[in-house]
A and B are shown apart, each in its own frame.
Chain A
């Protein structure tokens, strides 16, 4: 009976270790890591591609992860980037502008619309930009 119990314990631990290997932990990408583009067609998917690409570029400029940057934009989360707010805002606007240019170059956004959106990115409130409300 004792041997059977030890065998059961060993089997349980082995199954757990195998399952842990099957479900690797979710890794938060390093700043400037290359990411796959957000999939899908239509306005919503194109908007998310621009916002996510812009956030990634801004995070890269600031040397933080994209997730840390997003959390820092919601003050209630308590995430601080230890960067001057002006630097964060500049990085975000620049990142979104570059993302718009890239989207235009991929043929997702017509040139005149890209121009209008670039103006919006330069002057609109930052929180609304990040939520994709202005695109």
Chain B
């Protein structure tokens, strides 16, 4: 159950590696995330429409086989196809599992899975390979069969809560910013390794765990403010990012459990559909915005780096080789490699040349700020999702 929820976000830290391995585009690689969430959403909506009983074992079996397919995928098309099948299995098992483990455990496992997904995926990606994420899911899914033997009950009294479902969809749309965008910024923008990125983004699930109170509307508003703080990052300072992620986590911890429990009164399948519709809608909006903003930012960063190098008060015998190495780094960045802009300076003696070190820090800081700026519109959109969730939740609470 948690693994199926985590799959919504687990490949986030592996995206840069997938981008390089499959030599694709930002939009192309985003489909590894989108296809899974879209398949879960479509399947869940279909289950609502046909009012069919959900089969947990069938869902687990499909999820298990598709996970193996993802692990063995030779190209992006096969991986995306396997992710779609995985999403169908996940929708079946997520919809059926609330009967097996109860509403409170279901909402807790779902929130924990989504929030912890990037950290787990990051550790596996760096320790092994992106394929390790899917390899690990095979035994986890096999263990899930054991849960199928436990007796379960479905809530008798189903009271769909459309406003709450809408708030959940918006909240999950906002999570795209706190999880996927923050991870992409750390790894692809600020050159953190997947494990270090995983450590940083762990602030979100940890803060969510610490937020034990239950305040849906204030929680969603705090998530919105956390996302605004991410949009306003002034530099590549991880402390600010950690604080913003912690705010997002606290907001999530306050809002999601109580909203999930309210929504689950209308049945797990509706909640599953709402969550994944929110994720897919947000990904569909954010991916093109980011794909449109990143290349000009990269181009601007290249011009800024050139200006700083030209004006740097270091000798020609140092300046020219550093400039050539930086040119090579920017060239490799265009093929998907994450450039290390500090290395050319360090290789030419920035350790004992204060002017060179100052130029390195200035250049690296300017480029990082420019790249962070490219994420601003996407973070702001996610903050708008969270703010809308807060307003809708407040309205729903006022009605109740």
Docked complex Cα distance between A25 and B370 (Å): 8
**Interface contact A77-B225, CB-CB below 8 Å:** no
**Interface contact B232-A16, CB-CB below 8 Å:** yes
Docked complex Cα distance between A135 and B15 (Å): 48
Residues of B100-152 contacting chain A, CB below 8 A: none
Size bracket of the A interface? 35 or more
Contacts of B315 in A (CB 8 A): 44
A16 with B229: in contact, given A2-B218, A26-B304, A77-B331 (CB under 8 Å)?
Answer: yes
**Interface contact B303-A67, CB-CB below 8 Å:** yes
Contacts of A40 in B (CB 8 A): 313
A76 within 8 A of B: yes
B220: min CB distance to chain A, Å: 12
**Interface contact B235-A19, CB-CB below 8 Å:** yes
**Interface contact B213-A13, CB-CB below 8 Å:** no
Instruction: Map CB proximity to A onto B195-228 as digits: 1 under 8 Å, 0 otherwise.
Output: 0000000000000000001010010011001101
Contacts of A10 in B (CB 8 A): 225
Instruction: Map CB proximity to A onto B359-390 as digits: 1 under 8 Å, 0 otherwise.
Output: 00010011001100100000000000000000
Of A2, A16, A52, A77, the residue contacting B233 (CB under 8 A) is A16
**What are 25 A-B contacts with C-beta separation under 8 Å?**
A2-B213, A5-B250, A6-B218, A6-B222, A8-B247, A9-B247, A13-B225, A13-B232, A16-B240, A17-B232, A17-B234, A22-B234, A23-B234, A29-B307, A39-B313, A44-B316, A48-B319, A55-B310, A65-B303, A67-B303, A70-B310, A71-B327, A74-B327, A76-B327, A77-B302
Which residues of B pack against A, CB within 8 Å? 213, 215, 218, 221-222, 225-226, 228-229, 232-235, 240, 243-244, 247, 250, 254, 300, 302-304, 306-308, 310-311, 313, 315-317, 319-320, 324, 327-328, 330-331, 334, 362, 365-366, 369-370, 373
With A8-B247, A71-B303 already in contact, 8 other A-B pairs whose C-beta atoms are closer than 8 Å? A12-B229, A13-B229, A16-B229, A25-B370, A28-B307, A44-B315, A65-B303, A67-B307
Which residues of A pack against B, CB within 8 Å? 1-2, 5-6, 8-10, 12-13, 16-17, 19-20, 22-23, 25-26, 28-29, 38-40, 44, 47-48, 52, 55, 65-68, 70-71, 74, 76-78, 131-132
